Structure 1
Amino acid sequence: MAQKDAHALILDAIDMGAFRPGDRLVESELADRFGVSRTPVREALQRLETQGVLTRDGRSLMVAALDHDQMAELYAVRTELEALAARLAARHAAREEISVLRQMVEEDHALLSDATALARANRRFHGQIHLASHNRYLVQQLGMVRRSMALMATTSLAVAGRGAAALEEHREIVEAIARRDGEAAADALRAHLSLAFETRLREEARSL
């Protein structure tokens, strides 16, 4: 198993919520979990620490958590990159890709009572917009942003009423893309992420 594979496996597990911020990652347990030798796991852990995905607590490595400033910085970057993706999707998305986005919005209504499942569906929806931009370099950069988003301990979609509102915002984004209105799609995406960020800030303030 190559180093890059161990690295990807650990990142995917964090992305899917198998490991959450604050969880300790143990080399031997990861090797057993993924069926790989300890050497590539050790190298992957070192790489992830360098990338800021993991942080050290004494001799232990744990999944990092974003502080207030890091979260604000991440949303600033994410918003501009995703707005660009929406604008490009309006220009380049195939009819079939738009159809899939519409289906996602409709099907995701069935998940409103399950915040974890809705969060996974939300990642898939945004990922589909990234792909519909048909710009490999943008998709690559957004993949890095997505990895960092996984370092947030909670999802804004767990807040009462946010899930239904987010799906309506998704619908507006898709319809702008379908109209081939790039500016409207970008604006709708920015507004969507602004509301998500605001929701997180309110929840953060309540925990102070």
Structure 2
Amino acid sequence: MPDRATPNKDAYELILEAIDSHIYRPGDRLVESELADRFGVSRTPVREALQRLETQSLLTRDGRSLIVASLDHNQISELYTVRAELEGLAARLAASHATPEEVQVLQEMLAADRALVNDPEALARANRRFHKQIHLASHNRFLVQQLDLVYRSMALLATTSIAAEGRGPDTLDEHESIVAAITAGDGDAANAALRDHLSRAYVTRLKLDAARVEAGS
């Protein structure tokens, strides 16, 4: 059954969301006619969206076909390095600039996410919402824009580190430390807590990738 486009979403946003939610994974081939049928739009905006995504390196060529790009070991390392710097800054700014209402939302997200600890896919979606809320609480539009670009590339990772055994509860404990620092208005602690959180997630991802390589050898 096609996923009909909504008036507020164009073909680019629909395809990007499908990649982000892993409906289309790295290595999957994207066919213009199939996408048009799936989203209930004409082929022209789909073609334009595919060209835009290729320009942004989210899609790559495999012969004449366009496939969802994948990230190699060095690219993942570079991505996490940039992400840690930008998200650490966002947490630091959020500690200074978040409104009481924004802090309350973060606290409520944290409490609600505890119920998702045994559902890795739902927790992964909640994790993205949580991080996005911190970005917005920084009240720096240019930083938010750069983090949006980083998160587009994060969609090219084949799996989420939250799926690793035991990672869900650890993730929420780390989120709690971040929220506590933001609530206290301690920018240094918020920066450190978020960077530590991403460092632990990166270590988990490296272990997952190593296990996948070993299984395929």
Q: TM-score range by the shorter chain?
A: over 0.9
Q: Once the 2 structures are TM-superposed, how far is the Cα of residue 83 of structure 1 from its aligned partner?
A: 0.3
Which residue, out of 89, 99, 113, partners 1:84?
89
Q: Distance in 2 between matches of 1:17 and 1:89?
A: 29
Residue in 1 aligned with 2:11?
6
Q: Once the 2 structures are TM-superposed, how far is the Cα of residue 142 of structure 1 from its aligned partner?
A: 0.4
Residue in 2 aligned with 1:27?
32
Q: Does 2:143 match 1:141?
A: no
Which residue, out of 105, 119, 135, partners 1:100?
105
The residue identity in structure 1 corresponding to 2:68 is V
Q: Distance in 1 between matches of 2:17 and 2:209?
A: 26
SS in 2 for 1:18: coil
Gaps of 5+ in 2: none
Residue in 1 aligned with 2:201?
196
The residue identity in structure 2 corresponding to 1:141 is Q
Q: Distance in 2 between matches of 1:20 and 1:136?
A: 29
Q: Does 2:100 match 1:109?
A: no
TM-score, normalised to structure 2's length? Answer: 0.92
Identity %: 68
TM-score, normalised to structure 1's length? Answer: 0.96
The residue identity in structure 1 corresponding to 2:185 is R
Which residue, out of 71, 74, 79, partners 1:66?
71
Q: Deviations over 1:12-48 (max 9, x none)?
A: 2211222111211110111112222111111111121
Q: Does 2:120 match 1:122?
A: no
| 82-91 or 41-50, larger mean C-alpha shift | 41-50
Please list, as runs of the form range in 1=range in 2, the aligned pairs for 1:129-168 lying within 5 A after superposition: 129-168=134-173
Q: Deviations over 1:121-179 (max 9, x none)?
A: 00000000001011111111100111100100001001111110010000000010000
Q: Distance in 2 between matches of 1:16 and 1:44?
A: 17
Q: Distance in 1 between matches of 2:84 and 2:73?
A: 16
Q: Distance in 2 between matches of 1:159 and 1:6?
A: 33
SS in 2 for 1:207: helix
The residue identity in structure 2 corresponding to 1:52 is S
